[in-house]
Chains A and B, each alone.
Chain A
C-alpha cells in the first residue's frame, strides 16, 4: 500500500502516526471483525447469513443478518468511545448453551490503554501496516483455534460484555452483568497486538471436556 505524500512535515506526521482516535478506531475495527469471525467459525449463526469481505489483506466473514448487524454496530461504536476515553479494560464474548444457560466458551480481550496519550495529542510512531499485520495474525489464530475447541453441539447464544472503569457513567440501554466465568475451564492465550496506544491481549477459555 504505497501513497505519494506531499513533502509537508505536518501532513506526513499525521498520516504515519497513530492518534488516540485512530487507535480507538483500529481496535474497534478489530473487535468488529473478530466477533464476526468467532460467530461464524463457532457456528453460532448459520454460515449462509455471512458474506465474505476483504480486510487486513485477508478474507473475512461479516454477518448480513440485520438485527445482529445493528446490535454489533451499537456495541462497537460505544466501545470505540470508551477506547477513546481509555475507560475500557476488557471486552468479552460469552457463548452459552441456549437451553441450560451454561457458559461453554469465553473469548476475552484484555485492553491496556496508555493513558498518557490522552494528555498529549502528538501521534505515536507506528506503522499502520505493522498493526494490521499483527491484527491479521490474531484473527488467523482465532480461526485456527477451531481445530481444538470442543464442538458446540447444542444451539447457542452469545453475549458481549465490557469491563469498564468503576466510576463510568452507564449509558442508556447498557446494564450491569456478571462475569459469566466458565466452571472448570481450559484456557488458551492467543497473540496480542498493539497500536502503541492500545494493547490488546486475546485468550479463549472453554469448558473442559472429559473425552480424549
Chain B
C-alpha cells in the first residue's frame, strides 16, 4: 500500500541522516523531517485557514482584559494635547501636520486630520521622517539645480538610474507613485489588534550527557484557550490535531505551521474528541451535537457524519476500519466506516459518560473508562458478541479517563483515576488481576506508555498540575515535568516516541522532548524493528 511505501522511504532517509550525524558527534538530535511529511506539508499549504484569527480573536476576547487600552474619549479631551495621524500623506505634506490641533489651524483646511487614540498614554506626536524619502527629496532637489553637460549626460544618466533603483526600488524615470489623498482611514478608536502569538519557540539545551537529560522546561509553548476531554492527537505523519471550542487545527510538528481543518457550523457546538487513523490520513471528530465526523486531511474534505449517539461524543478510538465512540450516555458504538450503515454494535455497561476509550495495539481488546469509576474491557467484533465485556473492574474510586495499553507487553492495561482516586492501576487482561497500584496524590487525566526507555507517563490535574514519568514496571518516579499552571487535561506521544504534547486548563499546549534516544541506540532499534516486522508499530523489544 502507499502507506508502506512512504514508510520505507522515510525510514531510509532517517538512516542516512543518522549515518551523517554519527560521524559528527554523539549528541542527542531532534527528529528529522521525513519525506511523507513534506508531502503533507505541501498539501496542507494549499489549504486555507479561514476564520483562524477571527476565532482566536473572539475566543481570547472573552478571556483577556485589554491591558493597554487607549484612554476613553472623554479622558483624552480632558488632557490638553492631542495627537494626529500622519497616515497616508506623502513626504511633501508632512510639514502640514500640527502638534496640537486645538491651537494651530491646519494649512490645508480641506484635509482634516482625524483624532486618533493615544496608545499607552503617550499622546505627543513626533513626526518620523523616513530617511530614504529624505534622500529622494534631496536628490530630486539637487538634480533640478544641476546644469547637465551634454557630454556627460550618458554617463550620469546611468548613474542616476542605478541610484534611483537602489533608493526607491524602481526607476523614477519610468514610473511614478500615486495614492488616493484625503482623510486617513484608521480603524475605529479603541480598536486593538487582538491577535495573540500562537506559536513561539524557546530553546532547550541539547543533551550531551550519558544519562539522558530530561528538560523540565517545555520545549515549545503554544497558546490556546481552555480545553476539555480528548482534544489532542498526534498522527503517525507527525501532525498534531488540536481542537479549540468549535474548530480543529492541525499543527505540522516539524515545520510549526498551523492550519484550520474545520469549524463547526453553530457557535454553541464544540468539539469533544479527536482521533487519527493509524495511517494519519483521516481524522475522526466527536462533537457536542452527538455526531462523529470523518475528515480526509489531505484533501481537507469532510467525508461523512455519523449520527448514532444521543449525547455528546467524548471519546474515540480506531481499530483498523472500525471506529469506536464513547458518549455521555454511557454507550459505546462501533462504526464500520467503510459501509453506509456504519453503526454495527452498541456496548452498554457504563452508567455515565465514557471518557476513556482505547483499543489495544493488537486490536484484540477495547478498554473503556467512565465517569462511573468503572473500567471495562470488551472483545473485538469478530471474537464473539461485542456487547459482552471480557473484564469489569470497579477498584477505582474516581472517574477513569486515563487508559493506556502497554505497547511492548501484550494484555497489559494501565488506568488512572480522577480526583477522589488518584491511583494508577496496572491490569493483566488475561488473568483479570490488578498487578500493581500506586497513589500518585493527584487527579490523573491521561496516561501514556513511552517505549524508548520503558516508562509510563501520567498527566495530572488537582493538585499538582504536572506530568510525571514513572519507570515501568517498578513505578518508581523518574522525573516531573512542571510548567503548566492549571490541570493538565491531555497527554499524547509523538509518532517517533521522542516527544509528548500536553494541553492544560491554563490555555497552553506544551511540547516536551523527554524521550529522545541517542543516535547509536536508535539506529540499533531501527535495525531490529525493520527485521522483525513491516508495519511501523509501537512494538519495540
Contacts and interface: CB of A to CB of B under 8 A. Distances in A.
Interface string A5-31: 000000000000000000000000000
B169 A179 contact: yes
Nearest to A108: B169
A96 B186 CA distance: 11
Interface string B156-182: 000000000000111011111111111
Given A59-B50, A96-B87, A177 B119 contact: no
Nearest to A162: B178
B178 A45 contact: no
Interface in B176-194: 176-188, 191-194
Given A162-B179, A173-B182, A156 B49 contact: no
B122 A99 contact: yes
B432 interface: no
A143 B176 contact: no
B132 interface: yes
B6 interface: no
Contact of A176 (B45, B116, B119, B176): B176
Given A43-B194, A143-B50, A67 B90 contact: no
B117 interface: yes
Contacts of B172: 166
A166 B169 CA distance: 15
Given A157-B85, A159-B179, A177-B177, A46 B90 contact: no
A166 to B, nearest CB: 6
A158 B193 contact: no
A107 to B, nearest CB: 14
Contacts of B117: 155
Interface string A59-75: 10000000110010011
Nearest to B54: A47
B257 interface: yes
B178 A177 contact: yes
Contacts of A160: 179-180
A170 interface: yes
B48 A58 contact: yes
Given A43-B57, A101-B86, A173-B181, A166 B188 contact: no
A167 to B, nearest CB: 9
B174 A165 contact: yes
A144 B49 contact: yes
Nearest to B123: A99
A163 interface: yes
B188 A146 contact: no
Interface stretch (B195-203, B458-466, B497-505): B195-203
Nearest to B182: A173
Contacts of B534: none
Interface in A137-191: 137, 139-140, 143-144, 146-147, 151-166, 168, 170, 173-181, 183
Given A143-B50, A176-B177, A159 B201 contact: no
A102 interface: yes
B177 A178 contact: yes
A176 B193 contact: no
Nearest to B83: A99
B138 to A, nearest CB: 13
Given A71-B185, A140-B46, A180-B130, A47 B53 contact: yes
Q: Is the interface of B mostly helix, strand, loop or mixed?
A: loop
B79 to A, nearest CB: 16
Contacts of B193: 43-44, 151-156
A137 B48 CA distance: 9
Interface in A30-86: 40-41, 43-47, 49, 58-59, 67-68, 71, 74-75, 78
Contacts of A96: 87
Contact of A75 (B176, B180, B201): B180
A100 interface: yes
Q: Pick the most buried of B50, B86, B168: most chain A CB atoms within 10 A of its CB.
A: B50
A174 B85 contact: no
Contacts of B169: 179, 181
A130 interface: no
B254 to A, nearest CB: 14
B175 A164 contact: yes
A117 interface: no
Given A165-B175, A170-B178, A175 B87 contact: no
Given A43-B53, A165-B174, A174-B179, A143 B85 contact: no
B128 interface: yes
A139 B178 CA distance: 25
Contacts of A103: 130
B88 interface: yes
Interface string B118-149: 01001000111011110010000000000000
Contacts of B175: 89-90, 163-166
A1 interface: no
A146 B53 contact: yes
Contacts of A156: 187, 193
Interface in B57-110: 57-58, 83, 85-88, 90-93
A98 interface: yes
B21 to A, nearest CB: 23
A115 to B, nearest CB: 14
A47 B203 CA distance: 34
B129 to A, nearest CB: 9
Contact of A147 (B57, B88, B176, B258): B258
A4 interface: no
A43 B133 CA distance: 27
A80 B429 CA distance: 73
B176 A178 contact: no
A10 B92 CA distance: 53
B298 interface: no
A79 to B, nearest CB: 10
Interface string B40-51: 000001111111
B250 to A, nearest CB: 12
A171 to B, nearest CB: 9
17 contacts: A41-B53, A47-B53, A71-B182, A78-B180, A96-B87, A100-B126, A140-B48, A144-B257, A153-B193, A154-B193, A157-B88, A158-B87, A159-B88, A165-B174, A165-B175, A170-B178, A180-B130
Given A59-B51, A67-B185, A173-B182, 11 more contacts: A46-B191, A47-B54, A59-B50, A101-B87, A139-B48, A140-B46, A143-B48, A154-B119, A155-B117, A164-B176, A175-B179
